[in-house]
Structure 1
Amino acid sequence: MIGSRRRSRSSTNVWPGYVDALSALLMLVIFVLMVYVVSQLYLSQTLSDRNSQLVRLNARLDQLSELLGLEKDKTAAMEDQMASLQNQYSDSLARNDELVGQLESTREQLMQQTATADAQSERLAGMEQTLKDKDQMSASQQAMILRLSNQIASLQGQLRKIAAALKLQKNLTAEKESELNKVSQRLNTLLAERVNQLEQYQSEFFARLRNILAGNDNIRVVGDRFLLPSELLFASGSADLGADGKRELDKLAGVLLDVVGKIPDDVDWILRVDGHTDIIPINTPKFPSNWELSTARAVAVVRYLAAQGVPEKRMVAAGFGEFFPVAEGTSPEALQKNRRIELKLTDR
């Protein structure tokens, strides 16, 4: 009986110790599981916030890239910063994965090695330090995001200033274009007036010269030009003025000087003298072709008129050779009509 009582007491006294040990072990396991769950929740929330911030930052950077075509260098720098931030984020994800792995490993070790509570406590302390480092890294990233946001705001302010300057420049350009249109209209009006004045003097010159030269049947009028036959002015194959030609040119110079004396100085007029030949070619040392002969005859007329007082800067001489006939065919009459000097009073 005594032995039975002793065994009963011994059995009764052992179970409370086991119960206490199991309770302590269960509380330790529950504590570890709570730390794991809290860590997972904290890490998930941190990653979610960081993803949201990165999404917003990417959206703002894309909008700024579309608006600032001229800010390529700054945009490139911001993209580099974003790449650095994304690299840091990737590193953070890697560290998170590593931390999760460490937590999984710790949980397994806690279940397998319940007797090593002190060692597990040291691991938990290391995990807490890792979480603190994680918080510090997140604060650094947030500071970088804040700097990028400030840079974005600054660039947007510069964009607004540029837009205002462009609007002001556009208004100034519109005003200048309006002024230029007004000036152009005034110049066109003045030009039209000068053209009308020149046409009046052309008409007077044409009428007076036609009256003076009316007695010469060889001189023809075609449109607004006087056609003088080369035989009236020059010998065959020559560019030297004859006596009869000089007398006709004296009449022309007198009428021209009388008319041009009335033309205002701001009317830019010229007397055009064109030399023409027939289609029969010439080939002499002095005149290798009809071009040289027609040009020399036009220059001879201009020089003679200049000697009579007609301003040299108001005359032009040109030679057309045989390429612009007024009569078709090779008959003597056609050849005679094509050998001519044409005179025209026109504007430059």
Structure 2
Amino acid sequence: MALARNRRAERGVDYWPGFVDALSTLLLAIMFLLSVFVLAQFLLSREISGKDAVLDRLNSQIAELTQLLALERSAGQDYEDQIVTLRASLAGITDERDQLQTALNSGAGSVAEANQQLSALQENLEDERSISQRAQSQIELLNQQLAALRQQIAALEAALEASETRDRESQTKIADLGRRLNVALAQRVQELSRYRSDFFGRLREILAGRDNIRIVGDRFVFQSEVLFSSGSADLQAAGTDELDQIATAIKEIAREIPSDINWIIRVDGHTDNVPVSSNRFVDNWELSTARADAVVRYLVDQGVPGEHLAAAGFGEFQPLEEGDSPEARSRNRRIEFKLTER
């Protein structure tokens, strides 16, 4: 009758937790891809922000140079207005000189007075010419400054265009890097999945026909009674025989997995929801952790690389089967092996 009940329990295996574990693994992979994408976006944003700051400084310098150019143009216009005024005065003086010369020729007025007026007009004319020459010199200087300002503006525009070109090239490189990273990650996931299949295939061959060892989703599940006595974290002799075979399979698959794949086998300890009665452990959580740690340490002693092993305890908080029946509690007391990527 006990055998019949066990067979009925096997036919009632709940595959839902395995399906949830597979979805969790896929979700972790997606979260990792999203984290890489967000990091790339953050680096791109920081680089673009720095270039935006340079662009703002260049725009500020252009604005200042434009204001200076406007001021210089205004000053040049004032000098040109002065030159026009001086030329008008010069024309008026020339007309007066011509009138005096005409009066002198006609004999009107005294010659001495006419000569004095003529000398005064000539002096005024020389002064006006001197002022006109200074104004022309200032205009030439302003034109030179204007040409220099135009050269600076052209250089700033060239620098701005070069900066925009570098920004476009950087964005193109980052997009290409993201695509290559996605392809590489997909290849790594496929490669690790292939080695996981090989690993579990070998364990199936080694552990075939054992009722107390079964496959749930992407992990192997050992009933705790196979490895430990009730309330204890000390391995039993019968359990070490099973672990020896697992250690052999792990060492074989470790030699085949490329060194650039960062993989681990996580050993998870689980208990039922009955409080521990041993003084050695505070609660089921501590008991499950101690059992997982004992399995990992034994595998290391058998030659399994410690950097590819991890121990985790879950207590009674992730049961395979809900309920307080003896069958449910027996199924929940287990040790799980899961091959995954760090």
TM-score of the alignment, normalized to the shorter chain, above 0.5: yes
How far apart, in 2, do the equivalents of 1:222 and 1:68 lie? 60
Distance (whole Å) between structure 1 residues aligned to residue 150 and residue 212 of structure 2: 89
Structure-2 residue corresponding to 1:138: 135
Paired residues for 1:1-348 under 5 Å = 70=58, 72-73=60-61, 76=64, 79-80=67-68, 82-83=70-71, 86=74, 128=125, 131-132=128-129, 134-155=131-152, 158-159=155-156, 162=159, 184=181, 187=184, 191=188, 194-195=191-192, 197-211=194-208, 214-215=209-210, 217-282=211-276, 286-348=280-342
The residue identity in structure 2 corresponding to 1:149 is L
Residue 80 of structure 1: how far off its partner (Å): 3.6
CA contact (8 A) 1:293 1:321 kept: yes
Deviation of residue 73 (structure 1)?
A: 3.9
CA deviations on 1:128-161 (whole Å, 9 max, x unpaired) are 4664355234313421332133214423553575
> CA contact under 8 A between 1:85 and 1:141: conserved in structure 2?
no
Gaps of 5+ in 1: 1-66, 105-114
TM normalised by structure 1 equals 0.58
Task: Give the whole-Å Cα distance in 2 for the aligned partners of 1:276 and 1:68.
Answer: 60
Describe the shift of the 1:198–1:255 C-alpha distance in structure 2 as closer, same or farther (beyond 3 A). Answer: closer
Q: Distance in 1 between matches of 2:296 and 2:226?
A: 16
Q: 3-state DSSP class of the match of 1:318?
A: strand
The higher-RCO structure (CA 8 Å, 6+ apart) is 2
Task: Give the Cα–Cα distance (whole angstroms) in 2 for the partners of residues 219 and 157 of structure 1.
Answer: 78
- Aligned pair in 2 of structure 1 residues 336, 68: CA closer, same or farther (>3 Å)? closer
Task: Find the aligned partners of 2:169 and 2:197 in 1 and give their Cα distance.
Answer: 42
Letter aligned with residue 256 of structure 1: I
CA distance in structure 1 between the aligned counterparts of 2:275 and 2:117, rounded to whole angstroms: 121
Question: CA–CA distance in 2 between the matches of 1:68 and 1:324?
Answer: 57
Distance 2:150 2:82 in 1: 32
- Which amino acid counterpart does residue 305 of structure 1 have in structure 2? L
What runs of 5+ residues in structure 2 fail to find an aligned partner? 1-54, 93-108
Pairwise CA RMSD: 4.8
Q: CA deviation at 1:302?
A: 0.4
Which stretch of structure 1 is more off in the superposition, 158-167 or 330-339?
158-167
Verify the 8 A CA contact 1:206 1:224 in the aligned structure 2: no
Q: For 2:286, give the aligned amino acid.
A: E
Return the letter of the residue paired with 1:222: V
- Percent identity, aligned pairs only, is 35
SS of equivalent to 1:250: helix
Q: Which residue identity lines up with residue 146 of structure 1 in the other structure?
A: N
TM-superposed CA distance for 1:301, in Å, is 0.5
* Whole-angstrom distance in 1 between the partners of 2:307 and 2:151: 65
State the distance in 1 between where 2:76 and 2:205 align. 98
Say if 1:202 and 1:346, in contact at 8 Å, map to a contact too: no
The alignment's TM-score, normalised by the length of structure 2, stands at 0.59
